[in-house]
């Protein structure tokens, strides 16, 4: 069985990615040279236990395993990345208060459930089946079944309907935006999308696809920068398309992250 906490290097990165097909994995990139990153790693270890093994914590010492940091496209420490069904999803860079971190983990687990990743890892040697499984909601079940069929549009419609009935439920909106991004990236090569975006700055769809690709590769600031540039460099309906996509990226990355806070201020400057 997979451990609750694992230290990653080049020899076991593939194994951890495999675990993420059954259990969400939170990867924290840290260095003993940074007190903030050490504190974040300790906090995540505590939360992994408190959450009853609903996610595995994978630690990367960037000094000892720089090749793993490079593979995950990490540009700063501390950085947190989720692995879900083998795919990296950026979470945040820098420190984060515990209450905000709990909210982010709750969102991650909701997205994981929508993708059918609902396993657990053992806590302190306890059998994996001991904690009660969280009951999957009807919305999560319908969305998961649609995604398993490869029908992302149907999964998005499930959340559209749920949001119409519960317009104040921000977690539903975050899950929908996560699925929208998964749909846009399905079968796509992120590096090819980045190259296409760099080749044609006038094509708003190419620019926004480049933002998705940057985020898929773990470059949060790059993703936000590309989307902001799409807003800045276009007008009319194209600018509105870019603005809406940027707001969706805010949800995917996390409304409380410092990167989103900066990007929101930049967006306000562009619009007003």
Question: pLDDT grade, residue 134 (50/70/90)?
Answer: low
pTM: 0.53
What is the arithmetic mean of pLDDT over 45-55? 93
pLDDT at 127: 42
pLDDT at 94: 87
Residue 220: name the closest of 91, 53, 101, 59 by CA.
91
What is the arithmetic mean of pLDDT over 186-210? 92
Q: Which stretches within 74-219 are classed as H helix?
A: 98-114, 138-148, 152-165, 170-185, 190-199, 204-216
How crowded is residue 218: how many other Cβ atoms within 10 Å of its Cβ?
A: 24
What is the arithmetic mean of pLDDT over 116-120? 85
CATH match for 5-114 among 3.40.1030.10, 3.40.30.10, 1.10.287.10, 2.60.120.330: 3.40.30.10
What is the arithmetic mean of pLDDT over 80-97? 87
């Amino acid at each position: 069985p997979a451990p609750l906490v694992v230290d990653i290097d080049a020899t076991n990165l593939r194994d951890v990615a495999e675990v993420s097909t059954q259990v969400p994995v939170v990867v924290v990139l840290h260095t003993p040279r940074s007190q903030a990153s050490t504190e974040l790693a300790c906090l995540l270890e505590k939360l992994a236990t408190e959450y009853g093994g609903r996610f595995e914590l994978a630690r990367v010492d960037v000094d000892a395993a720089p090749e793993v940091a490079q593979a995950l496209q990490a540009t700063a420490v501390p950085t947190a990345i989720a692995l879900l069904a083998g795919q990296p999803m950026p979470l945040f860079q820098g420190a984060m208060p515990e209450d905000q971190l709990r909210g982010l983990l709750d969102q991650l687990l909701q997205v994981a459930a929508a993708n059918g990743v609902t396993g657990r890892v053992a806590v302190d040697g306890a059998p994996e089946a001991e904690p009660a499984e969280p009951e999957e909601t009807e919305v999560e079940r319908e969305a998961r079944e649609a995604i398993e069929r490869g029908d992302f549009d149907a999964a998005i419609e499930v959340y559209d309907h749920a949001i119409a009935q519960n317009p104040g439920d921000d977690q539903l909106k975050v899950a929908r935006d996560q699925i929208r991004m998964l749909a846009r990236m399905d079968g796509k090569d992120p590096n090819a999308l980045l190259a296409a975006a760099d080749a044609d700055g006038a094509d708003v769809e190419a620019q926004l696809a480049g933002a998705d690709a940057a985020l898929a590769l773990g470059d949060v600031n790059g993703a936000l920068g590309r989307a902001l540039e799409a807003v800045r460099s276009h007008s009319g309906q194209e600018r509105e398309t870019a603005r809406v996509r940027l707001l969706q990226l805010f949800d995917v990355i996390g409304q409380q992250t410092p990167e989103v806070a900066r990007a929101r201020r930049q967006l306000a400057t562009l619009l007003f």
